[in-house]
Amino acid sequence: MNKHQKQTSIMVVDAGNSRVKWQSELKSGDKIRNFVAVSDLGDIEPLWANLRKPEVCVISNVAGPRLEKKFVSACFMLWGIKPIFVKSQRTCCGVTNNYYDPHSLGSDRWAALIGAHDLELGDSLVITLGTASTVDVLYSDGNFMGGIIFPGLDLMGNSLSQETYALRNPNGRDSKFPRNTVDAIYSGSMRATAGAIEAMRLQVLIDRGKSPQLVFSGGNARKVAKHCHKNRSVHDNLVIDGLIRVSRDLI
């Protein structure tokens, strides 16, 4: 990072299905990280009132147009700036998007891919485990080859709890050989998630002749990672990391 970038205040926001997370880089070099549940989000201005004015505010928003309006209003009211909403594209920051329609890829997945590529780990599975789970194939040359989406760990268990009368308690624990129903649900959800990741790992192994690095992020990352191949690392928020990388190209 050059001297100008160190002295520039950057704010990035990851608005997901369950939480809105942000990080502010201050001119002093200090960083402020925080989050709020989408269900608890009222006015944004009081949450950001103590932050210094950023030179640029870059946002990934998959939570819908209502939140987009809130972000635009807050940035204008607090700092007189217009936020930049990241949209997926064919190429950015060394990553090439091989989706048939590159613009249809979610901005959170796109930012996570950019964050993972910046780690320079070689061929990788970029795995985000939140409300939804995604496993995306990213090769060492920056080519995003595609990926899968399936219900998140909690969503799997909750769906059985909500849709099946006899399975009303979703709060189980992981067990090698579950001997009650709630543990069976939780353990089944865990194995389904780990199994999907393993299937993608084997596909890359077949295609490339070597096993990829498993790059985990999201609220359930640490829970699931321990059930997967040992060639792995866990990162707090790849979306935030990717947004910071995008921001540095804008200043």
Spatial distance between the Cα atoms of 48 and 84, rounded to a whole number of angstroms: 17
Out of 14, 40, 43, 108, which one is annotated catalytic?
108
Residues 6 or more apart in contact with residue 209 via CB below 8 angstroms: none
CA distance linking residue 233 with residue 235, whole number of Å: 7
Instruction: For residue 40, indicate whether it is catalytic.
Output: no
Please give the full DSSP string across 61-121, using - where no structure is assigned. E-S-HHHHHHHHHHHHHHHS---EE----SEETTEEE--SSGGGS-HHHHHHHHHHHTT--
Q: What share of the chain is helix, strand, coil (3-state, %, to 5)?
A: 40, 25, 35
Catalytic (active-site) positions: 108
